[in-house]
A and B are shown apart, each in its own frame.
Chain A
Amino acid sequence: MIAYVAIGLLALLSLSIPVGIVLFLLGFGIDWFFSSFPLIRGLGNMVWSASNSATLIAIPFFVLLGEILVRSGVAARTYAALDRWVSWLPGGLVHANVATATMFSATSGSSVATAATVATVAMPQAEKLGYDPKLFSGAIAAGGTLGIMIPPSINLIVYGFLTQTSIPQLFLAGLIPGIGFAIAFIVAVAIICTIRPSLGGERRVFAFSEMMGALTHLLPIILLFTMIIGSIYNGWATPTEAAAVGVAGAFLIAAFFGGVSLTMITESLYGTVKITSMIMLVVIGASFLNFTLASAGLGQALDGFLSSLGLSPMGTLFVIVLMYIVLGFFIETLSLMVVTIPIIVPLVVDLGFDPIWFGILMIVLIEMALITPPVGLNLYVVQGARKDGTMTEVMLGSVPFVLVMLAMVAALIAFPQIALFLPQALN
């Protein structure tokens, strides 16, 4: 059955059938070949119960929030403000890319949206100030991946939904690794630019008063983050409700800076519906596959397969990590996450690992998949925002950040507390 799923998955995906449909087809196949009871009778109920979810409505809300912020011009102001604060470091404006991406991650649940936002505002500056395009674009692509790690995160909502894990706990668990990433990226850029100053641009020091003045432009985003996360942990709102609070906050910010117009609202709504349905087809397909796999006894099959391999839990984990890195080269990231959760997570939990910790580990691996070619969405997004130059430059520029991510994978495995400290401390 494992071989059937793996081969079927790769074959159907390579035929370029939509990912959500592939998941349904695999479910039908499991039903046909491996189940004694006609599981397809449950299809309608699965579709209803997977989409009738107050948890998942957080997805369109967070998408909408991001769309509003992107279209209201808040990004450009944030970028300019952060430039004042971090451009004295070796590497100059490259740090502003990482810092802006980090701030936007704290209000956006999507990595691609974050990378797209930062790329649009940063790219014109790169040429003006004479930056090496490789490191500059790599920093945007990598910084953008923080969108799914730092709460709120659409990927963590989907993970929590499919694995029945607490979403607030997942959000908390992502906070330290997310901030750790931001710091590690900045340190890495500073080291690279100290060794090879030509890769960074001019370092600029701004007057203290200018730095203080810039703070006012950072306040809206910081406030929005505090509102969203604060309302969850004060018990005022569930993650879903906090997302609604975020939408209202984004509207207020946009209105304050004069970015609200009818076109902006309609475009944001179109984008929201499109992205939500795209995500939901995959999520509903995965729920159905989940159901068929569980009913057909995938658990026993996997246990049998594993004991035949004779690996230790750590050895198995190592194989799983390796598999994600390899699959991450080729498969779009949300799909990668959703198709593997039903198979991998029960297994990992059986081996005695913590599902919240594994969720975070998976996010790191997914972040890596976002910036590794040939299929790395953030690379394309950043390249799309550039006027000239080749894709290879963006890929090369991402290499140092991939190394940082590998280090984070090792660190998370060696010290699970990096992810688990906050959820346990605040529980």
Chain B
Amino acid sequence: MKLISTLRTINKGVAMLTGIMLLACAAFVLLDIVFRQLGSSFGGTDEISGYVMAIATSWGMAYTMLELGHVRIDLLRSRCAAKSRCLFDLFSMLVLSGTIVLIALKCWPVLERSIKHGSTANTPLETPLVLVQGPWFAGWVWFAVMACLTTLAALIMILRGELDDTEQAIGAFAEADTLK
């Protein structure tokens, strides 16, 4: 289905940006180690690494979902026929979407508080938390939207009887394939 492949393409781009951010963070940490040996330091690399991790995590989630990368135990599922497998997959996507929407909603108060109080981190850098919690929150909203769209697409495909396509979109890889 076109929607799924579009979502995959977009999220591949997102994943690439996330990867580059992680790479840049590694370079930054490395520079700090070198500078520290020379007697000076940027300071705050720990804090920045934490922010990078939080943002990378939330933005990478949707990509992993679309690449069928989130681990599922398919002991029962794999023993079923194609039709029931699709029902397992659809159910699991519905539950995932619901949970992620709830998480995204509950992440908002965290950001809201930082905006309202203009909170800064309790660190030497005094980072305004809005700057880092904003992108972090956006990542979870992105994941929630992607999950709902994928579920919708899967529902349509199942109703149309396109079971193979559904499995491609929201199925589970055999455990070994997940790792390739």
Contacts from A to B (Cβ < 8 Å): 13-21, 24-25, 40-41, 43-45, 47-48, 51-54, 56-57, 60-61, 64, 112-113, 116, 231, 236-238, 240-241, 243-245, 247-248, 266, 269-270, 272-278, 280-282, 284, 330-332, 334-335, 374-375, 377, 380-381, 383-384
Contact = CB atoms under 8 A, between A and B. Distances in A.
Contact of A284 (B26, B57, B88): B57
Given A14-B75, A57-B25, A380 B176 contact: yes
A277 B64 contact: yes
Given A24-B99, A44-B106, A273-B19, A16 B74 contact: yes
A238 B32 CA distance: 12
B73 A16 contact: yes
A245 B132 CA distance: 25
Contacts of B175: 332, 375, 377, 380
B9 to A, nearest CB: 13
Given A47-B107, A244-B26, A273-B22, A334 B71 contact: yes
Interface stretch (B44-52, B148-156, B157-165): B44-52
22 contacts: A14-B76, A16-B88, A16-B89, A18-B72, A19-B71, A21-B96, A52-B50, A52-B53, A57-B52, A61-B22, A237-B33, A245-B33, A248-B27, A273-B18, A276-B22, A278-B69, A280-B57, A280-B61, A330-B75, A332-B73, A334-B71, A335-B71
Nearest to B97: A21
Nearest to B28: A244
Contacts of B53: 51-54, 56-57, 60
B33 A51 contact: no
A336 to B, nearest CB: 10
A44 B110 contact: yes
B76 A52 contact: no
A19 B33 contact: no
Interface of B: 12, 15-16, 18-20, 22-23, 25-27, 29-30, 32-33, 36-37, 45-47, 49-54, 56-58, 60-61, 63-64, 67, 69-77, 88-89, 91-92, 95-96, 99-100, 102-103, 106-110, 132-133, 136, 140, 172, 174-177, 179-180
B137 to A, nearest CB: 9
A48 B179 contact: no
Most buried by B among A113, A273, A277, A384: A273
B50 A57 contact: yes
Contacts of A276: 22, 56-57, 60
A274 B67 contact: yes
Contacts of A281: 61, 64, 70
Q: Which 10 A-B pairs have the closest CB atoms?
A: A269-B19, A380-B176, A277-B60, A277-B64, A244-B29, A43-B106, A18-B70, A54-B46, A52-B54, A44-B110
A248 B57 contact: no
Contacts of A13: 73
B107 A44 contact: yes
Contacts of B58: 51
A72 to B, nearest CB: 16
Most buried by B among A16, A240, A241, A278: A16
B177 to A, nearest CB: 7
A71 to B, nearest CB: 12
A60 B54 CA distance: 12
Given A240-B29, A374-B75, A274 B64 contact: yes
B71 A18 contact: yes
Nearest to A242: B33
B179 A54 contact: no
